[in-house]
Structures are given as C-alpha cells and as structure tokens.
C-alpha cells in the first residue's frame, strides 16, 4: 500500500500459579484482550501435596537417607494419574475451554508444584 508497511500487532499474555479447584474468574478478562499467545509460566496446576504432621518424621528420614533436598520431605509429588486428572480438569474448565476455543496459541513450562515437589529443584 503505497510503500507503507501494514501495522501489525502481536499480543502475548501469561500467567501462573493456577489452582484447578479454585474459581477462575479471569479467563473472560484474558479472552477480552484477544491475545495471540498465552504462556503458562509454571504452577499451571498444584499437584503436589503437603504431608501431614504424622507423615513428616518418616519423610524426613527418607529424605536424609536418599540425599533429597531438605524441603522435599514437606511435600509429596503427585502420581501420574493425579497429574493427568488435574490437567484434564483444567482443560474442561468452562472459562479456560472458551478461551482455548478462540484458537489462541498456548505454550508453557512446568514449575515445582505442577510437576514434582515444591521448591524441589
């Protein structure tokens, strides 16, 4: 067009620290901005579980014997079935599903809570 470049816009939004079982009122707000790309920055779901007080002594001994990080004994990682169930629940969340149905590209990475142990390194 007369040697002028057409103006283009590329919008990126990102988020993290999402708990599947909590309300997620932000998806319509995110969707209203029509991003081209959504990036999950980690803790997309919270799959690990804090151990109970009764479980801590045994977990502490195991962590010391196995050379685990000092904080690893506080949390129990999720088995694969639980991880799948949490991600399936997120995919089925009505607000998130509506957002995905717009055709937005979604990228992401895992962090400590969604794949492994809290602060597990």
Q: What is the pLDDT along the chain (121 residues), one digit of tens a residue?
A: 466 667 789 999 999 999 999 999 999 999 999 999 999 999 899 888 888 888 888 877 877 787 776 667 777 778 889 889 999 999 999 999 999 999 999 999 988 777 666 665 5
Q: Report yes or no: 75 and 120 within 8 Å, Cβ to Cβ.
A: yes
β-bridge partners, 76: 49
CB atoms within 10 A of CB 47: 26
- So where are the chain's domains? 31-108
Q: Report yes or no: 18 and 96 within 8 Å, Cβ to Cβ.
A: no
Specify the pTM: 0.75
Tokens 């980690």, located at residue: 42
């Amino acid at each position: 067009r007369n040697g002028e470049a057409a103006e283009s816009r590329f919008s990126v939004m990102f988020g993290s620290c999402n708990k599947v079982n909590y309300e997620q009122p932000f998806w319509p707000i995110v969707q209203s901005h029509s991003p081209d790309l959504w990036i999950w920055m980690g803790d997309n779901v919270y799959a690990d579980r804090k151990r109970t007080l009764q479980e801590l002594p045994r977990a502490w001994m195991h962590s010391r014997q196995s050379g685990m990080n000092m904080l690893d004994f506080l949390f129990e990682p999720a088995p694969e079935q639980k991880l799948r169930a949490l991600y399936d629940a997120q995919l089925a969340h009505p607000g998130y599903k509506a957002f995905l149905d717009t055709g937005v590209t979604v990228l992401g990475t895992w962090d400590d809570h969604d794949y492994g142990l809290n602060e597990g390194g």
